[in-house]
Amino acid sequence: MAKSASGKWVSRVGATGGGKAYKKSRPGNYYGVLALIVILGLLSAVLARYDYQHPHKAAGAVPPAIGTTWYAALSVQVCGDSLPNLYPDPTSAGGFTVQNDNVIKLSPATAADAGANATLSQFSDEYPGLISSSSELAIPTKTGVADAATTYKNGQACPAKSKYAGQTGKVTYAYWSSLSQKKPIVTTNSTTIKFSEYMRVVMAFEPAGVTPNPPSATSVDEMVKLAATPTTTTTNGSKSTTTTTTAPTRATLPTETTIPYAVAQVERGSGPATLANFKVPGDVKEWDLDWTYNCTATPAKTGTFAVKIVGHGSSANTTDAGVPQQKSPGTAGIVRNYDTGTFNLVVTTPCTWIVRIENIT
């Protein structure tokens, strides 16, 4: 086998026996190697100091974590009018999928759409053909193909038959992070809109000064109903089989809240609970108690559900004292009330549930 140049160099060193000729000479790359060692040592020290002073935040510290399931209500609005719902895409491989009634399901499977990456921009990236940039809003066809009739760019005139026909429009986004939020946050940058549980979000093309309306009550109702239902996620991958059931967690209301909007407050939980007081103003004509429950996560797969309305000095004009006891795997309903004052609800059930207070003016 032919010897390498480095092998010959080692042989010559051994032959000299460490004589004077060797002592006086150095290999050509000696000082270069020495300088490289010094530089690498300094770099290691600098990096170690930086890591010590700037510790990395643990992955998953920002919700939603992988395995979480959230729902949000969506609306697309152009020049004062609402466009048809996006087509459901339940087979999407990403963490975002569109359900019926314009409800977005967020169930991160990877870091791509978990935590700080769970944004409206990421949702658009995962929905075929949807564009939501700061200068363009494009709603695709059912097959995910671009449609010139539903593509809107800053500076374009509103459609002839729209509410603001002929006015110059621009892309804008509005969102309400919770059902109790009164005024939306409006922005032109979809990358800054991070999803939250029960978020309502609007993608819009409107004239300057026009604030989009919140998503429809139908979308909100469907969002709340889906959130009340335990979700089973099966992962097969590289195809290990793991089944996870996600049950609703309790959302705490303030000690007392006034009802000013159609969807005033939502409380959800599992098992019996006495909820916080809420106040119905005297000018409200009717307030409704919407409810849904699901017992499929209980051992018996069925159970009872009842809600009692407790009045505090009200006019005692309630048409129904609450939700009569139900017994089934789960269902939903509404109780209409006409009195005003301060009340609270007492829930009796072994199941998961959501109750919602809504006023009708």
pLDDT digits (tens, 9 = 90+) for 171-209: 999 999 887 677 999 999 999 999 998 899 999 999 999
Strand order in the sheet with 352-360: 265-270, 352-360, 286-294, 330-337
Q: Return the pLDDT at 186.
A: 97
Residue 111: predicted pLDDT: 92
- Which has more confidence, 53 or 82? 82
Average pLDDT rounded to a whole number, residues 257-279: 70
| CA distances from residue 3 to 6, 9, 10, 27, 28 in whole angstroms, order as listed | 8, 10, 11, 19, 20
**Domains delineated in the chain:** 70-228 (no CATH), 254-360 (2.60.120)
Secondary structure class of 92 (helix, strand, coil): coil
Confidence of residue 319 (pLDDT cuts 50, 70, 90): very low
In this predicted structure, what is the pLDDT of residue 29? 64
- Which position has the higher pLDDT, 35 or 78? 78
Contact, 289 vs 264, CB < 8 A? no
Concatenate the DSSP letters of all residues of 136-192 into one string.
Answer: EEE---TTS---GGGEEETTPBPPTTSTTTT-BEEEEEEEESSTT--S-EEES-GGG
73 pLDDT exceeds 50? yes
pLDDT band for 45, please (50, 70, 90 cuts).
low
Q: Tell which residue, 178, 293, 290, 296, has the closest CA to residue 231.
A: 296
Q: Which of 108-117, 211-220, 234-243 has the lowest mean pLDDT?
A: 234-243
With a pLDDT cut of 70, the percent of the chain lying above it is 68
**If you average pLDDT over residues 154-172, what whole number do you get?**
97
Please give the pLDDT value at position 340. 82
pLDDT at site 247: 38
Q: Note the pLDDT of residue 130.
A: 94
Q: What is the pTM of this model?
A: 0.57
Q: What pLDDT does 31 receive?
A: 66
Q: Three-state SS for 326?
A: strand
Mean pLDDT value of segment 268-293: 84
36 or 127, which is more confident: 127
Pick the more confident residue, 211 or 29: 211
| pLDDT attached to residue 89 | 72
Alpha helices in the chain (DSSP H): 5-16, 20-24, 30-53, 120-126, 217-228
Strands 341-348 and 286-294: unpaired
pLDDT exceeds cutoff 70 at 137: yes
Q: Is 90 exceeded by the pLDDT of residue 170?
A: yes
Q: How sure is the predictor about 123, in pLDDT bands with cuts at 50, 70 and 90?
A: very high
How confident is the prediction for the chain on average, in pLDDT? 77
Q: Which residues pair with 346 in a beta bridge?
A: 274, 308
Phi/psi at 47 (nearest 5 deg)? -65, -40
